[in-house]
Amino acid sequence: MRMVFRWFGEGNDLIPLEHVKQIPGVEGIVWALHDIPVGEEWPFDRIEEVKEQADLHGFNIDVVESVNIHEDIKLGLPSRDQYIENYKRTIEKLSQVGVKVICYNFMPVFDWTRTDLFKELEDGSTALFFENEKIKDIDPLELVKEISSNFTQTMPGWEPERLKYLTKLFELYQEVTEEDLWNNLQYFLEQIIPVAEENNIKMAIHPDDPPFSVFSLPRIIINKENIERFLKLVDHPANGLTLCSGSLGANLNNNVAEMVREFADRIHFAHIRNVKTYENGDFIETSHRSSDGSVDILSIMKAYHDIGFTGYARPDHGRHIWDEKCRPGYGLYDRGLGIMYLWGIWDSLERMKKEEV
């Protein structure tokens, strides 16, 4: 397992890389050019700039999260071909600086959805929260205003230049079915995967977050059966997964440890985090400890260990603790604690394996 840490770049992150360097076992940063509008080709000088920043601290930049996909591709509009060409050229540039994995998603409009960025937990910490009844009643535009008013920095998936066309996007998606979205995803993959293979890059799709329809938008990467279908769209090693225990774990019917074993050779990136899910459909993100949430992190880590996972992993989201002022879901302290919990499980499994021999 190769531990990495998501970092949003100088000027767009509240966490300096010298602090990330102090977390044991972290060897790379997970990054993106968040200020580049979705669909545009990434400038090579900007890519090199991130590499130089990472090099100063001895980090690799092997994983990009995300090269987001323009809505015209998801919608299947005629303009999608130009955006796909831009995507191909970005892949080629990323390969030149050693990128190995590109995380992306195929969620319409929103990359993720929550109703509260700083919901208080019993211990006084705060975390990202999804309130099922609220999401049913609130207008998407009102939710965007409410979320955006609480945070001033760029939040991936909620970029201002995209969300200002929200009403138009919802109108366009009224005619898009799940099958349409499947077809549009296959069209994208059939053009992108050969380019990824040529450039020694693995594409790793992220599950929908949450793994069910929100605002009546189609969602397709939501469970084991759909992931099986996805992998068969273009059945190639370069077409793989970012397996996110938190996203999939918001539906208690999803057995993430089972998925780790089932899709072992196609998991290029692991997001490991916990959520506590309630009977009414609400869920809140918790510490990584298994007993704090509804996701069995211990079993998931054992599954990764059993398959001999050597891919990239990160602690994904964390709570906001010790009065830290941070990006929602991305505090330094709780993600650092999460990494040490994951390493503790991994090291114990390694010790037991040696003792068995």
Residues 126-141: pLDDT tens digits?
999 999 999 888 877 7
What pLDDT does residue 142 have? 73
Tell me the pTM.
0.94
What pLDDT does residue 119 have? 95
Cα gap 265→235, rounded to integer Å = 12
What pLDDT does residue 266 have? 98
What pLDDT does residue 186 have? 98
- At 205, which helix (H) or strand (E)? strand 202-205
The residue from 87, 304, 330, 333 that is catalytic is 330
What pLDDT does residue 184 have? 98
What pLDDT does residue 48 have? 97
Output the DSSP codes for 162-193: HHTTHHHHHHHHTT--HHHHHHHHHHHHHHHH
What pLDDT does residue 141 have? 74
Active site residue 236: no
What pLDDT does residue 131 have? 94
Mean pLDDT in each 10-residue stretch from start to end of the chain (357 residues)? Answer: 95 89 98 93 98 97 96 96 98 98 95 91 95 86 67 59 75 93 98 98 97 93 98 98 97 97 98 96 96 97 98 96 93 97 97 85
What pLDDT does residue 167 have? 80
What pLDDT does residue 190 have? 98
What pLDDT does residue 354 have? 86
Active site residue 206: yes
Output the DSSP codes for 50-106: HHHHHHTTT-EEEEEE--PPPHHHHHT-TTHHHHHHHHHHHHHHHHHTT--EEEE--
Mean pLDDT of all residues in the chain?
A: 93
Residue 98, phi-psi category: left (phi > 0), alpha (psi -120 to 50), beta (remainder): left
Active site residue 330: yes
Query: What structural domains does the chain harbor?
Result: 2-356 (3.20.20.150)
The residue from 206, 288, 305, 320 that is catalytic is 206
The residue from 83, 116, 244, 341 that is catalytic is 244
Cβ atoms of 255 and 249 within 8 Å: the answer is no
Active site residue 333: no
